Structure 1
Amino acid sequence: MIRIPATDGTLTAYQPSSKARSTTPDNTPFTSRSVLAPAHVVGDPLAANEPFGPPLGPPPPQSLDWDATLAFRRHLWAHGFTVAEALDTAHRGAGLDWPTAAELIRRSGAEARAVGGKLAVGVWTDQLDPFSPHSLDDAVKAYEEQLEVVEEAGATAIIQASTALAQAARTPEEYAGVYDRLLGQTTRPAILHWLLPEWVPGHTGYWGHAGHEESTQAFIDLVTTHQDRIDGVKVAPLGPEHERVLRRRLPDGVRFYTGDYDTYTDLIAGDEHGHSDALSPVFDLIAPVAAEAFRSLDAGDAADFRTRLDSTLDLARHVFEGPGRSTLFFKTGLVFLAWLGGHADHFRMVWAEQGARSVPHLAQAYRLADELGLFPDPDLAAYRIRQYLDVSGVAQ
């Protein structure tokens, strides 16, 4: 038995599972949907990965455990997912600076070539000082520097909205000119990634319009103009109905990638008007079960797809719970469960975020994952959760 703590201080005896997952991973890409899994990174336990840096100073460079970080990408490829690299799930913009992100992209590109895996990578402007003004040319050059690294890695570019661009560009024509230039340099159809001002206030006025509908129409016009250069788009946050409306407005052949972690089964399954594809960190969390669901969908068994993917909702909702942008600390649950699952030999994170979630939250995440049969070695997971709870003051 494991004594699982609740937030009210009570303890519940839990009998862990003893049945390991028996499904053999299949690295064949899914055929019914395009599914991208943003992957987490693991901190170097011997590095000075301090949270946020000294007072009034920039955060110190963060060091990664490269073996554990790359091994998890091989885990995702082994189940058929496209790895989405160097996004916020990998602490991009929250501890991972551009030089380290560039090294991550290069290493992931080499790993992808070695195993035949698919890779998509975030292209941004985070090498620019966020507290200094920048010109339109500064933003373009920053994008182009990153795009060159992504192209050399053989990856699909995920072109992310930029606060530096939002500060410099004023008119729809200026935005269109920047994206025209970037899309003209990609050798593969790109994904456009637009976070709305509800999550990033610095994106207010993106696409050159103050109003949401005007901005959305300018975005759709851009996509339509370049639809042969665009694989798909991700726009967040959107409620399910707004997502369905927007994806119907896209030109034929352009995918809408959902990042939803609450109703993703319905959005991906779709309706008579179409379906969403997926670009969501939830697949970092539930890869083995989700892969089985997509194999069922590929085989035409939509009911089994729904049953399998619906079984993951409680865990996903728990790990991503919290206010704001998918809660800033969802990554803590991802790295914790990966450690319990044997994908790393320690639980250390960039910016010391292993302490960003409470002991009851992580203990409950373990229980939900174990009930789901997510762990390849449930005995190892049980041993490690007992270790964690013991050193956290919950005697076992």
Structure 2
Amino acid sequence: MTKLLLPNKDRKLYSYETREFQRFEIPQDKPFKKRIAFSAAHVVADPLSVSDPTLDGQIDWDKTMEYRHYLWSLGLSVAEAMDTAQRGMGLNWDRAKELISRSVREAKSVGGKVASGVGTDHLAPTPAVSLEDVERAYEEQVSFVEGEGGKIILMASRALAACAKGPEDYQRVYNKILQNVKEPVILHWLGDMFDPALEGYWGFEDTDKAMEVCLQIIRDNETKVDGIKISLLDAQKEVDMRRLLPESVRMYTGDDFNYPELIKGDDQGYSHALLGIFDAIAPAAAAAMHAVDADDWNSYDAILEKTVPLSRHIFEAPTFSYKTGVVFMAYLNGHQDHFRMIGGKEGARSIIHLSDLFVLADEAGLLRDPELATKRMKVALELAGIEQGAR
């Protein structure tokens, strides 16, 4: 156990002592049997690159792939080149292609599972863009991922949101793309709290009306849809949609606020997982999935309920800045040697936010080496002008 001085919201310092770490019990038998569990994974920036990190952030490929191997070693699947990897917020399509190619190759080498984001982010999202442009952009990315032998997560399109006149335009584009994919894909409905450019997706700002458009697209293309991930941070909306899906189509929760109850489910069904928070809480997530397999719901609840305050904190408004907390967790836990991000996004959260994150991570049992985590937290604090004394 180690101590440090942390700031609170009143700008006052208080002494905090970390708890004794207790390792999560994670059986070696995998994959999970009763739930599919994807972790949307972050990328590790190259801290020694001479390029402008806000305009051309470079990736440390060795550390980035090393983290994916860590997730696979826990039994988790990897959702690649998604918003957690700063897709469209520091990670452009050219670099995403290399990321996808490397991940698919590395996954095959260890029998890991990976699905990769396909979007239109190489197309400027302006009203001047046509539906034909959007279709071609989607087709280009679909072709690349299929050519790599990868599974597709069909991401929401900023360009489509910018040029679509109504729900019929969404139906046209999605129907065309889905009709031509080789294998069933996972659709992704990303709420505007994660990306403001996606406001009014599916042609309506009203969520119920938007949901009906999305459901109709799924019904029209049922054999081409493995499932849908929705990230609306509204548990009831997810449950409502889950109960309306065709029987063959899975629901993947993207709700980083309410994931324990949604994965657990009810007498009418449950959600699988495709979550950014599973990057930050990977060992707890893996242990919880094994508890599901054992029908040990007491252990499941005990493991995940402690992670919810941390997740809600990491994903607090502005929600799209959650990647900073995810990478900070990786830094605290020794998965990377620095707290730098592509796009310079390490500065997107305050030192108060990061201090509270440290405490919540410790309370959830997610600081795997409290001494190392404390040392690194002290560095961050001193960079913010909060002296800690001898280290």
Distance 1:172 1:24, change over 3 A: closer
Q: Which residue of 2 aligns with 1:55?
A: none
**Which of 110, 119, 127 is the equivalent residue of 1:124?**
119
Separation in structure 1 between the aligned mates of residue 125 and residue 227 of structure 2, nearest angstrom: 28
> When the two structures are aligned, how many residues end up with a matched partner?
386
**Which of 275, 278, 284 is the equivalent residue of 2:273?**
278
Q: Which residue of 1 aligns with 2:289?
A: 294
Q: Which residue of 1 aligns with 2:72?
A: 77
Distance 1:115 1:189, change over 3 A: same
Q: Is the Cα contact below 8 Å between 1:369 and 1:375 reproduced in 2?
A: yes
Letter in 2 for 1:221: Q
Shift of 1:307: 1.4
Q: Is the Cα contact below 8 Å between 1:18 and 1:379 reproduced in 2?
A: no
Distance 1:196 1:384, change over 3 A: closer
Gaps of 5+ in 1: 53-59
Distance 1:204 1:251, change over 3 A: same
Separation in structure 1 between the aligned mates of residue 71 and residue 27 of structure 2, nearest angstrom: 10
Distance 1:209 1:369, change over 3 A: closer
Distance 1:355 1:177, change over 3 A: closer
Shift of 1:177: 3.9
Give the stretch that moved more between structures: 116-125 or 350-359: 350-359
Separation in structure 2 between the aligned mates of residue 206 and residue 388 of structure 1, nearest angstrom: 38
Distance 1:355 1:183, change over 3 A: same
Distance 1:22 1:268, change over 3 A: closer
Q: Which residue of 2 aligns with 1:150?
A: 145
Distance 1:282 1:212, change over 3 A: closer
Distance 1:207 1:348, change over 3 A: closer
Matched, 1:340 2:332: yes
Q: Which residue of 2 aligns with 1:256?
A: 251
Give the stretch that moved more between structures: 43-52 or 158-167: 43-52
Q: Which residue of 1 aligns with 2:19?
A: 17
**Which of 352, 375, 391 is the equivalent residue of 2:344?**
352
Separation in structure 2 between the aligned mates of residue 205 and residue 27 of structure 1, nearest angstrom: 43
Q: Which residue of 1 aligns with 2:171?
A: 176
CA offsets per residue over residues 54-81 of structure 1, 9 Å max, x none?
Answer: xxxxxx2221111221111111111111
Q: Which residue of 2 aligns with 1:372?
A: 364
Q: Which residue of 2 aligns with 1:39?
A: 41
Q: Is the Cα contact below 8 Å between 1:92 and 1:101 reproduced in 2?
A: yes
Letter in 1 for 2:383: V
Distance 1:350 1:6, change over 3 A: same
Q: Is the Cα contact below 8 Å between 1:197 and 1:204 reproduced in 2?
A: yes
CA offsets per residue over residues 229-273 of structure 1, 9 Å max, x none?
Answer: 211112332521122111101110211121112222111111112
Alignment TM-score, normalising by the size of structure 2: 0.91
Give the stretch that moved more between structures: 164-173 or 335-344: 164-173
Distance 1:19 1:217, change over 3 A: closer
Separation in structure 1 between the aligned mates of residue 166 and residue 314 of structure 2, nearest angstrom: 39
Shift of 1:280: 1.4
Separation in structure 1 between the aligned mates of residue 246 and residue 22 of structure 2, nearest angstrom: 44
Distance 1:117 1:197, change over 3 A: same
Output the aligned Cα RMSD.
2.3
Distance 1:207 1:289, change over 3 A: closer
Alignment TM-score, normalising by the size of structure 1: 0.90
Shift of 1:15: 1.9
Q: Which residue of 1 aligns with 2:387?
A: 395
Give the stretch that moved more between structures: 219-228 or 284-293: 219-228
Separation in structure 1 between the aligned mates of residue 21 and residue 83 of structure 2, nearest angstrom: 33
Q: Is the Cα contact below 8 Å between 1:20 and 1:375 reproduced in 2?
A: no
Q: Is the Cα contact below 8 Å between 1:124 and 1:160 reproduced in 2?
A: yes
Structure 2 counterpart SS, 1:76: helix
Separation in structure 2 between the aligned mates of residue 171 and residue 9 of structure 1, nearest angstrom: 48
Structure 2 counterpart SS, 1:257: strand
Structure 2 counterpart SS, 1:260: coil
